[in-house]
Amino acid sequence: MSEIFKAIGFEITDEESYDALAVQAEDSGERSAVHREDLTLHGRCWRLGEGIEIWSVLCEKENDLFYADCRPAFRSRYARTIRSWELVEYEEDGEAIVKGVTASGIEVVFELQNLTELDPRLFREHDLQIGLAGLAYSARGETTPQGRRGAEPPTDSLRFDRVPQTGDETEAPCDNDYEIRGRIIAMKELRNPITGVRLVWLFLDAGGIRLEVIVNAAEVTGPLKLGSLVEATIWLQGHVLDANELTARFEGVDPEHPRSDYWLLLRRAN
């Protein structure tokens, strides 16, 4: 997990630096909790700005309170719908995994960051509204195909694939690492306000899915330009959105929604 923190600008080199970050999130984060039959999970969300977060989770069981998890996070700017979803909780580890299918038919498996913020009744819905983003271990920019400026990459060159599991699956019960290769349709430089580390936010068109990716600028090789291709290995994570958050974050239409559907709303009744 330490290498994932680098994606949002934190250098975690040992247990001491990991514990220090967890304590900082505990002291500075917004508090939330979710209750289960035999334990309570206490979430702490330390919002650093620009969508960057640190999540710390404490587990309370039989009057004992201990740190279950501390992890990096990034809140996506865009909302999307998944259906045929499944929630898997690893309660004493402070983790939850969501599996589902997007409107374009792409299966996604991601770490759920904000379980403790959510009303459990939300998980009775047939569809879930989510924000999804990848934290990149590294990224490599490519030149425009055939060197032609503005040339569109062939569709079969784009991909979004899960990285096959290796080793002992009991240590990684649900692998949410992906390989993505997509065309840059938007990009922006960010900076971690705590460490000052320079980051890059990318919005990639990978064919069947459009996805936000955040990467440490020091882990980028090759050119990053609008319209060019980029390859990255990412840790997929996301947030489930309730009605209030959906209203507050509205920034326009879903870029994956078929444009033809918008015109249907303009048909006159007579």
Per-residue pLDDT tens digits for 245-268:
777 655 555 555 555 555 555 555
Reading phi first (left if > 0) and then psi (alpha if -120 to 50, else beta), residue 20 is in alpha
pLDDT value at residue 247? 75
Is 200 in contact with 220 (CB distance < 8 Å)? Answer: yes
Domain coordinates in residue numbering, the chain: 2-73
- Place 150 in a pLDDT band, splitting at 50, 70 and 90: low
Q: What is the DSSP string of 158-196?
A: -EEEEPPP-S-TTT-SS--EEEEEEEEEEEEEEE-TTT-
pLDDT value at residue 251? 53
Q: Take residue 266 and report the two structure tokens written for it.
A: 């303009």
Per DSSP, the three-state class of 47 is strand
Per-residue pLDDT tens digits for 59-109:
999 888 999 999 999 999 999 999 999 999 998 899 999 999 999 999 999
Looking at the chain, the whole-number percentage of residues with pLDDT higher than 70 is 83
Is 105 in contact with 157 (CB distance < 8 Å)? Answer: no
pLDDT value at residue 139? 97
pLDDT value at residue 15? 93
Could you give the C-alpha distances from 243 to 118, 119, 130, 134, 248, in angstroms and in order?
A: 11, 11, 11, 23, 9
Q: How far is residue 66's CA from residue 24's CA, in Å, rounded to a whole number? A: 15
Tell me which range, 134-138, 144-148, 254-258, is most confidently predicted by mean pLDDT.
134-138
Strand partners, 97: 88, 111
The answer on pLDDT for 170 being more than 50 is no
The answer on pLDDT for 200 being more than 90 is yes
2-73 folds as N-terminal domain of TfIIb (2.20.25)
Per-residue pLDDT tens digits for 46-59:
999 999 999 999 99
Phi and psi at 252, nearest 5°, equal 130, -170
Q: Which residue has the higher pLDDT, 252 or 111?
A: 111
